[in-house]
Amino acid sequence: MRARILICALVSTLTLAGTATAAQAASYVALGDSYASGVGTRDYDESSGGCKRGPDAYPVEVAPRIGASLKFVACGGAKTEDVTGNQLGSLNAGTTDVSISIGGNDAGFSGVVFQCGKPWPTTCWGDIDDAKAFIEDDLPGELDSVYSAIESRAPNAQVAVVGYPYIFSGEECGGAARISEGEQEELNEAGDMLTWVTANRAHAHGFAFVNPTDPFEGHAVCDDSEWINGVSNPTGESFHPNDDGHDAHADLVTAALD
């Protein structure tokens, strides 16, 4: 009986040790663009250069919550081709968790929004239409290429594809330049298309989709509690999630990966 107890105790100890080792071995890779790197938080690691990865970005918050080490390779300005060309090297069979925010720059959203913000009589209706056409016709294939590459390089990982929140509430204020209510509505409609296409392709690959649209309601540019920066100095901080926005993203991504 005593020998049996010792054997059971040894097995329990080994099991616990194995569980602890597995937990320590969890590896989280954060891919994507400026909405993942932390642009908008105004605090960046010097070593990240133009990628502007910062300590307040949501991947930095998510990693300890899910008990994983972090490989943070998201980069401001990234498009799908930048992810496949420069970021996927961080993935391998040991990767357990992946988050990715990508597609907005492919559709040219940053340029469209700044075009909308130029003084009258400049308008951006044609630019918005071009973005919508790209999202509908070209973006699905671009996303499929990225998602397939993630599946191939990190076959054992659970993946959270992170969408984009509404930037605008439909209200004009000093921080929103002169972007009219109509233009804001059209920009949000383009955002809806981007959300639908991204969610559709994510689900086709068996990935979770994190949709921040509802959680960010009431926190757009010009709302009383902004989680998205309005027009800022420097301008690169404009129309990106601030610290509060990244805290909200961290909650959503943690729930998707935990």
Per DSSP, the residues of 177-190 read TT--HHHHHHHHHH
Question: What six digits make up the tokens of 109?
Answer: 């959203």
In the annotation, is 246 catalytic? Answer: no
In the annotation, is 34 catalytic? Answer: yes
The residue that leads in pLDDT, 46 or 23, is 46
Confidence at 16, pLDDT banded by 50, 70, 90: very low
* pLDDT at site 14: 44
Question: What six digits make up the tokens of 106?
Answer: 């492919």
Among the four given CATH numbers 3.40.50.1110, 1.10.10.10, 3.50.90.10, 3.40.50.1970, the one describing domain 26-257: 3.40.50.1110
Q: Is 27 helix (H, G, I), strand (E, B) or coil?
A: strand
* pLDDT at site 137: 97
* pLDDT at site 23: 47
Candidate from 158-167, 189-198, 234-243 with smallest mean pLDDT:
234-243
Taking residue 218's Cβ as centre, other Cβ atoms within 10 Å add up to 12
In whole angstroms, what is the distance from residue 203 CA to residue 90 CA? 23
Residue type, 134: F
Q: Is 22 helix (H, G, I), strand (E, B) or coil?
A: helix
The catalytically annotated residue of 27, 34, 48, 238 is 34
The catalytically annotated residue of 219, 240, 246, 249 is 240
Q: Where are the domains of the chain?
A: 26-257
pLDDT at 247 over 90: yes
In whole angstroms, what is the distance from residue 159 CA to residue 99 CA? 6
Confidence at 174, pLDDT banded by 50, 70, 90: low
Question: What six digits make up the tokens of 206?
Answer: 């068996």
Q: Give the global pTM.
A: 0.87
Confidence at 202, pLDDT banded by 50, 70, 90: very high
pLDDT at 253 over 90: yes
In whole angstroms, what is the distance from residue 237 CA to residue 181 CA? 22
* pLDDT at site 177: 56
* pLDDT at site 210: 98
